Amino acid sequence: MSSPSGKWDARYLGPVPHDSIYYAKCMFGGVLACGITHAGITPLDVTKCNMQVNPGKFKGLVPGLKTIAAEEGAKGLWKGFGPTFVGYSLQGLFKYGLYEYFKDTYMNLAGEEASKQYKGAIWLAGSASAEFFADIALCPLEMTKVKIQTSPAGTFPIPMGKALAEMSKLRVETRYPFGSLIPLWSRQIPYTMAKFFFFEYIVGLFYGHVFTAPKETYGKPTQLGVTFASGYLAGVVCAVVSHPADSLVSLMGKPEHKGKGLGAIASEVGFGTLATKGLGTRVIMIGTLTGFQWWIYDSFKTAMGMGTTGGK
């Protein structure tokens, strides 16, 4: 599609123009992709967080699930569902919507030739810029979620409203609402850069070496299959890249780490433990999560006539 001026414009490279309505739809697609998927795997998240903060007690995914269910019942596996759903819906809104906006903006700033030559750098810059704002929206809910999930039974409110009120009341102790923003940035920005870069890169490999006809000649099931496979593989990379910072975010919620800096916690626990404890569970969780996020997002875009992401 040509731009109205006839000049090259990244906003007119797809099947529909990237106007404010397009970006708003991308934001809504991001809400669906992140809110639904993160909330849906709450039991895995509860177990993963407890494995990070209490590895002696929670020794693996299946044993951890059984321990939580035995001590707190099935409802214990769904602790933090509310702030997870709301927080990651907000995060997805900014993550996906602003990525599309920043990607187009940076491509236009670079120009046609440079945007082709340095498209990887544009993916990285666009995703990092989007995640910077997404994490500000996520942080208060993420801090609340972690506190709910890692507090011993009966020591912290589980309902979302009461938990948010308690976090605010204890703001000196919990550093609510933005006490975890820096470790969250350190976890999520590399994660999202990897997520979007490797997704776009792997999609390009599929259409460059496996499905070599023009992308638009393939049906929706094939395109969405490529989306899911690319998202899953990108998610595995994301999990490894962001796991040490994810462990730190979880450990900050432990009472014995009250008032300690990130460096002190990391030194006590050790980088090896931060990088590996709970990693297998997180690889399964994030790979599946990322694959379904991209599939939901691109399914929504396809339903709206906006086409799937990447491949050009």
CB 83 within 8 A of CB 148: yes
Q: What is the pLDDT of residues 240-274, one digit of tens each?
A: 877 887 777 677 766 666 666 667 777 777 877 78
- In whole angstroms, what is the distance from residue 94 CA to residue 19 CA? 16
| Tens digits of pLDDT across the chain (312 residues) | 668 878 999 999 988 999 999 999 999 999 999 999 999 999 988 998 888 788 889 988 899 999 999 999 999 999 999 999 999 999 999 999 999 999 999 999 999 999 999 999 999 999 999 999 999 999 999 999 999 998 988 899 999 999 999 999 999 888 999 999 998 998 889 889 989 999 999 999 999 999 999 998 999 999 999 999 999 999 988 888 778 877 776 777 666 666 666 677 777 778 777 877 878 878 887 888 899 999 999 999 999 999 999 886
Closest by CA position to 95, among listed 106, 105, 87, 84: 87
Q: Of 242, 261, 240, 241, which is closest to residue 252 (Cα–Cα)? A: 261
Q: What is the pLDDT of residues 278-298, one digit of tens each?
A: 788 788 878 888 999 999 999
- The pLDDT value recorded for residue 253 is 62
pLDDT of residue 301: 97
Rounded to the nearest 10 degrees, the angle between the axes of helix 181-205 and helix 81-110 is 60
Distance separating alpha carbons of residues 296 and 306, to the nearest angstrom = 13
Cβ atoms of 139 and 177 within 8 Å: the answer is yes
Domains of the chain: 16-303 (1.50.40.10)
The pLDDT assigned to 165 comes to: 96
Predicted pLDDT of residue 54: 85
Amino acid at 22: Y
Location of structure tokens 């708003």: 24
Distances (CA, A) of 128 to 111, 124, 191: 20, 6, 9
CB 238 within 8 A of CB 193: no
Question: Which pLDDT belongs to residue 72?
Answer: 93
